[in-house]
Amino acid sequence: MKHRWQLAPATPLPVRVLVEQLSVSPLVAQCLVNRGHSDPAEVERFLNPRLRDLADPFLLPNMAAAIDRLFAARDKGERIVVFGDYDVDGVTSTTLLLDVLGALGWRVDGYLPHRMDEGYGLSRDGVENCLEKHAADVLLAVDCGSTAVETIAWLNEKGVDTIVLDHHQVSVPAPLACALVNPQLGDRFQELCSAGLAFKLAHALVKRGREQQVAGFADYDVRQLLDLVALGTVADLVPLRDENRIFVPAALPRLSASARPGLIALIEVAKCQEEIGVYEVGFQLGPRLNAAGRLETATESLDLLTETDPGRARKLAGNLDGRNRERQTIERRIVDDVMEDLRQRFDPKKDFAIVEGELQWHIGVVGIVASRVCREFYRPTFIVGGEGGEWRGSGRSVEGFDLAAALRECDDLLLRHGGHAMAAGVSMDPEQLPAFRERLNELAQRQLKPEDLIAPLRLDAEVDLTDVSLKSVEELQTLQPFGQGNPAVQLIVRNVQLADRPREIGKEKNHLLLKVESAGQRADAVWWGGAGQPQPEGPFDLACVPEINVFRGRRSVRLKVLDWRAS
């Protein structure tokens, strides 16, 4: 057993209320309550999200000031440059703003920083290079800028007004921007990524333009921007609740049917199925858009999303597909190096944290590698790489260990650091790597108990195999889309047995197809990566995700194996 099984407590009273008032099954009601939804009116909105339920965009902090400055720029014919970030959220929010501002009469250009040369965020180097390329009266920073105190002060000296549209933590003191639109300054919209905030700004622009009866605004439909919101929101792993619960179900169908040549080409090269869901965005489209920015600059991704010629779009999409393969090769090499080394010397009784670094490890992929190592060993993990006297790295954590707080206690060993509880970044002299490893391990040993180093597996309910019918699984799918903040339904099926010998499947035969049975009921179960793992003997309990499998037009229940233990 690789996990700590945590079964959600039964809540008969709120479950009964939902069953009686909304006519949902007890299992669906329990899953809703587990996700914090027990009020019938709120559950009704959750199960039937509608765009008209989106809140007024002017409720966002400083949105009115941002819109005032943008309309003043439009009236004066001033030049605006949208300065974005190089991940999918940054690229999609930049594209969205270029789209809406360009269509509604603003003079606007876009700029994305170079990961290696200009670093992360609204850096001084990045802004200077941006202004050399694009003269600007207003700089609209999106998905960055909330901590850029010095850069924005410099822009103020140069006479360039800055609007920040961002969802990251705000520094103290905050930068003196013309308008700092950030939900962290208020008590709403905390779930939105920058693509969602860009949509809110577009909504506010159109609303103001219609109120003032500006020509062209009455006919502009902001819903055409939702394909970009779907990409940014899912890829940025923000919680799929509140306004994101409205955005994503409405936006995914528009992504599937997008008219943007760049997205059409990207969907083709990624070989996505016709109906694009959270999986396709997270594992097929998102990585290809991210690849260019991880290796150097995301400008190619921005060019793809803004391209209007289908032929050029296909060429750009092909380039990004190649970049993604290159990224996978680099990532795989580093993962293999780290895993091989750790498996030889890792001591689970002593190693409460993992810090690994090497010269020339590509800093664009160290975050992905840290995630994979953390998932494999379930320890706070930092992977560091680079060249010269300054290495950069990314960290991922486990529940109960605050990375940002730990880094503050390692301040004397680091050149720079920042982030939050579960993910963070560092810059350091490579000679400090052993001391940083030792300090982080000491902190983790003080804060984490041995049981904290076993990954938790949260389970919604205990069921019999007879309860997992096609009808019940279809009803559970009304909770979709699943993702961050709204996880897939995970169940315990008690007292099952293998009805047949497991069969190896997949191109490399590294997965297992199990036939499980209980009380005369049978079901298929797929154990991804299960080949070579210890297999159950006799009665066992199965932790699984119920899914609907479609094969040659026939729909059937299939269970995705998460873990198992002897009954």
pLDDT of residue 423: 87
Condensed to tens digits (0 to 9), the pLDDT of residues 14-45 reads 999 999 999 999 999 999 999 999 999 999 99
pLDDT of residue 149: 95
pLDDT of residue 1: 52
Distance CA 253, CA 545 (A): 24
Residue among 155, 188, 185, 157 nearest 171 (CA)? 185
Q: Coil, helix or strand for 202?
A: helix
Tokens of 551: 């094969």
What are the structural domains of the chain?
3-48+457-566 (2.40.50.460), 57-257 (3.90.1640.30), 346-453 (3.10.310.30)
Strands of 439-510 (E only): list them: 455-459, 461-463, 491-498, 503-505
Pairing of strands 79-83, 138-142: parallel
CB 483 within 8 A of CB 234: yes
CB 167 within 8 A of CB 141: no
Distance CA 429, CA 7 (A): 45
Scanning 23-123, the segments in alpha helix (DSSP H) are 26-34, 40-47, 63-76, 88-103, 115-118
How many C-beta atoms surround the C-beta of residue 397 within 10 A? 24
Q: Coil, helix or strand for 228?
A: helix
The partner residues of 82 in beta bridges, in order of sequence, read: 110, 140
> H or E element: which one contains 513?
strand 511-518
pLDDT of residue 418: 78
Condensed to tens digits (0 to 9), the pLDDT of residues 492-517 reads 999 999 999 999 999 889 999 999 99
CB 384 within 8 A of CB 338: no
Pairing of strands 540-551, 491-498: antiparallel
Token look-up 């529940």 returns 399
Tokens of 341: 């080394």
Condensed to tens digits (0 to 9), the pLDDT of residues 292-325 reads 777 767 889 999 999 999 999 999 999 999 999 9
Distance CA 384, CA 394 (A): 7
> H or E element: which one contains 108?
strand 107-111
Q: What is the pLDDT along the chain (567 residues), one digit of tens a residue?
A: 589 999 999 999 999 999 999 999 999 999 999 999 999 999 999 999 999 999 999 999 999 999 999 999 999 999 999 999 988 999 999 999 999 999 999 999 999 988 767 777 899 999 999 999 999 999 999 999 998 999 999 999 999 999 999 998 888 899 999 999 999 999 999 999 999 999 999 999 999 999 999 999 999 999 999 999 999 999 988 999 999 999 999 999 999 999 999 999 999 999 997 789 999 999 999 999 988 777 767 889 999 999 999 999 999 999 999 999 999 999 999 999 999 999 999 999 999 999 999 998 988 899 899 999 999 999 999 999 987 788 999 999 999 999 989 999 999 999 988 777 888 889 999 999 999 999 999 999 999 999 999 999 999 999 999 999 999 999 999 999 999 889 999 999 999 999 999 999 998 899 999 999 998 899 999 999 999 889 998 999 999 999 999 888 889 999 999 999 998
